[in-house]
Structure 1
């Protein structure tokens, strides 16, 4: 028994001294960074009436640790393109800045510039609420549930020379009805009014349905002045047709 106890002693000594090895901390040194602080001057949501002639943005400020830093302002029209607030549309004005470590910050403002309502005799321009139905071409099944009724706004913008632009050629089916946003709208459809009372229109090139793709072709367009109403239909090559009823907003 004594021999056995003696053999275990060196192992205990080795373990004891091994446990005293120095521990090296390999963690990276820490540092403090101050995030950009952005402040938007004025309201984050602005509506311009249709008779507005221009828009001047109130801007904003950006700071890092209480000191001013560069603020970048970008204008993003929702439907009709461009890089400035220059007519009826819905605009996002994005304010952005970076701190000294390259960490970004952002804030935004929405500007809605209304289009003036036409009389549907000499002009079809205006702000509209949409009531929608979609038909599956293969089966004839019609979908017109509550989520697709009373959506919008849909804008018909006067582009000049009797030409108009429609903000979404499927009436907001996916943008508003499915709440998927403007990336799923059919943007870019134009129409020329040859004789509005006679429902004589020339349709511009077909446009794609955003997000999903596939050409969407405007097939009919009729105005009903006494009801402040427009009804148009489109044919989407994905296998659906849309009927869009637009009622002018007061």
Structure 2
């Protein structure tokens, strides 16, 4: 009889232990969701957006939802070529608007919009503008077709009167290969008078690829609103970027 009682007590204690562990486990996970609904962001309005320098623009933002319910979102801006951290309609650049939202479980999602701020020069006194670019690379063209325009190269006027080109090689790696702005050939500055463009400052290599790029014999056609920029990169390639201004 004693043995049976001991077995019964042991069984009762084991059952109580299992119940306690089960209750503890339920308590630890109570209120936690097994399924999370990630934020969904729908960009409203045009993307990309185009704004003339000094003009006005109201960012339409996004519609952010979690499982169909509208939730708040935040917006930040980055000047892709000139480095601003706000949207400045008085400074020509391509700006990226970044929209972000967080769901109730702390998971986030983002969406982007490109905003081009530019001035359209008349080619009499100014070559500012937004340009489509076609690039020929020798001795090999590579993965970027020479006959498909890349969108977009920007030319802006500096306070010293020079005109700066967002990418001296026409966006071959930045736009054509979609490597981004860190692969643009930055720093090319031109003087422009009466249809003649001369180099005021050579570019600073090809972004993170580095090296030296030399630009010479830039030609301008005011009738067709095109600028041809030949360059030599000491990594073994030559580029001819033909920029065509768009309205």
CA contact (8 A) 2:211 2:235 kept: yes
Mark the structure with the bigger radius of gyration. 1
| CA drift at 1:58 | 3.1
Q: Secondary structure at the match of 1:189?
A: coil
CA-based RMSD: 3.6
The partner residue of 1:116 within 114, 120, 138 is 120
Q: Does 1:193 align with 2:191?
A: yes
Show the 5 A alignment for 1:1-250: 29=29, 31-32=32-33, 34-35=36-37, 37=39, 39=41, 42-50=44-52, 52-60=54-62, 71-87=73-89, 88-119=92-123, 121-135=124-138, 141=139, 143=141, 147-152=145-150, 153-186=152-185, 188-193=186-191, 195-204=193-202, 206-250=203-247
- TM-score normalised over the length of structure 1: 0.69
Counterparts of 2:144 and 2:64 in 1: how far apart (Å)? 44
Structure 1 pair 93/230, CA: closer, same or farther in 2 (3 Å)?
same
Higher strand share: 1
Unaligned runs of 5+ in 1: 1-21, 136-140
Q: Is the 8 A contact 1:129 1:150 kept in 2?
A: no
Task: Quickly say closer, same or farther: Cα 1:175–1:37, change in 2 above 3 A.
Answer: same
Tell me the SS of whatever aligns to 2:209.
Answer: coil
User: Residue in 2 aligned with 1:9?
Assistant: none
Cα deviation code 1:14-56 (max 9, x no counterpart): xxxxxxxx99999x94831644535557315153342652333
C-alpha displacement of 1:143: 3.2
Distance in 1 (alpha carbons) for counterparts of 2:67 and 2:140: 58
8 Å contact from structure 1 (residues 70, 97) kept in 2: yes
1:114-137 Cα shifts (integer Å, max 9, x gaps): 431331x311112222222223xx
Structure 2: gaps spanning 5 or more residues: 1-16
